[in-house]
Amino acid sequence: MKTLNEAIRSELNKIGLSDAVEIRYNLNKAELITQAVLDGEGVLSDSGALVVNTSPFTGRSPNDKYLINNGDPDLWYASGTESLTDKQFANLQAKLLKKMNTERLYVRDVYAGADPANTARVRVITDLAWQSLAASNMFIESDSDEPHVDPDFTLLVSSQFSADPQADSLRSPAMVILNFDAKQVLIGNTRYAGEIKKSVFTFMNYLLPKKGVLPLHCSANKGHDGSVALFFGLSGTGKTTLSSDPERALIGDDEHGWSETGMFNFEGGCYAKTIRINPNYEPLVWSAINRFGCLIENVPLDENHHPDFDSSEITENTRASYPLEFISNYEPSGMGGHPNHIFFLTADAFGVMPPLAKLSNAQAMYYFLSGYTSKLAGTERGLGDKPQATFSTCFGAPFLPLKPTVYAELLSKKLTQHGTQVWLLNTGWSGGAFGTGKRISLPLTRAMISAVLSGELDQTPTHTHPIFGVEIPDDVPGVPQEVLNPERSWSDQDAYQEEASSLAKQFARNFEKYRDSVSPSVAEAGPKTD
């Protein structure tokens, strides 16, 4: 019988890590944090969280992502993603392994997918202790000390490896390369932990639809009665905040699958955006990020090692990862039934979209394929002084390796099968665009969600928005009429109509690429441009 170390060595030998200097396998959080501090990878905050700086990469690098073309006719390359050949992959794999064989390595065997019928065995190999902590926080830990034999896919992560752009035909020294046939991901020259998380998500997005399971970029929670709600949205729209509800159990905050039996979380943790977090409005998340075992990325510390969560000195994209059990009311199984309600979140910085609206199934398909939110002036270089509309297909385009219609058709089928109601929820601005209007307050947004989930709006009359065509409830308890009806919140009605019409035209231009691949009812379900 092989010892554990021998078993691990044997598995690593299969992929070319036969000469690794030292292997640290499935260290616990205390061991990883201690090692990270000793090696100068990070420091402890005054609350005990490990704080690291991932500069110069403080977010994903979409222009450094590559897929190996395996001939799958449904393979799709999101904006910025390029194709590489098997030969290019083999060359880069050899170079990366050569570098990793000179390092101390941290090996972590975890799972993606809480549903035993749809789980994947994942091996994450890193050269940094804190990245192994990130994997420990983010994915589902094994109950056994036995290593995975022939894992479903392996991530090889080397912060020290730099590709040669000219020789390797890459766009920079950094790389995130996914090879579905080889069951491997190569990550080099970036320390940002989101690349690990999203690579696992991308793999699941490839594997599950082939089994009839719909992977979704959303958070999920469930009530005491077992009712399930999903929250779709791009970064900054409020997925994590709104799903962390003290009155409902958190299933997961970012990535889920919808199977024949219901919803299941891909992950065992949360990766929360922390910029300007308010402990009064987000007490559950605040408590989770201020304790030992949490990993904080790119948040400055003062002289007393107190994190300044209001600071964007390093980046606007400050993050914290922590296990789900750090949330007091999480769902231990990571599973729930079929969703009763789905919320599409958008942070509309133009201030024209209704804060709450009911969607037909055709409209749900349209807005799902559109994946709209907006970027704010001043948050990124080159945005100028006006917000910019952002469309990310299925609310997660960078992580979709298959054609968007694959996911949309699966969603349409499940909405019809289970009678799920879809809502559009604007967490952005009212009374004018960013800079003039005010952001819709979190308490008002929570009041709208609560009214939906409690059934208070089941019999409430609605009226149709003249431009966006969605159904707006005539009344929501605790929400002023001028908030519910965005045009009423503007002092200049003509200016509202002009801005709303402008956004409608941007929707139409974006949807042209899908028009020929969807039904006429979906194609005509978008905003009116006449």
Contacts of 454 (CB under 8 A, 6+ apart): none
Q: Which of 123, 191, 197, 217 is catalytic?
A: 217
Whole-angstrom CA distances from 142 to 125, 268, 402 are 16, 11, 29
Q: Which of 244, 254, 358, 445 is catalytic?
A: 254
Q: Which of 45, 54, 58, 60 is catalytic?
A: 60
Q: Which of 54, 158, 199, 235 is catalytic?
A: 235
Q: Which of 222, 239, 256, 465 is catalytic?
A: 239
Query: For 392, phi and psi rounded to 5 degrees?
Result: -125, 105
Tell me if 296 sits within 8 A of 252, measured CB to CB: no
Tell me if 28 sits within 8 A of 169, measured CB to CB: no
Query: In which residue are the tokens 């905003």 written?
Result: 527
Give me the DSSP letters along 13-31.
HHTT-SS-SEEEES--HHH
Tokens of 517: 């691949």
| DSSP secondary structure letter of residue 306 | -
Does the annotation mark 211 as catalytic? no
Does the annotation mark 319 as catalytic? yes
Whole-angstrom CA distances from 290 to 119, 144, 145, 246 are 30, 29, 29, 18
Does the annotation mark 60 as catalytic? yes
Residue 229 to residue 222: CA distance in whole angstroms: 6
Does the annotation mark 148 as catalytic? no
Contacts of 20 (CB under 8 A, 6+ apart): 12, 100, 101, 103, 104, 105
Does the annotation mark 198 as catalytic? yes
Q: Where are the beta strands (DSSP E) in 53-98?
A: 65-68, 82-84
Q: Which of 95, 191, 222, 319 is catalytic?
A: 319
User: 159 - beta bridge partners?
Assistant: none
| DSSP secondary structure letter of residue 71 | -
Does the annotation mark 240 as catalytic? yes
Catalytic positions: 60, 198, 217, 235, 239-240, 254, 319
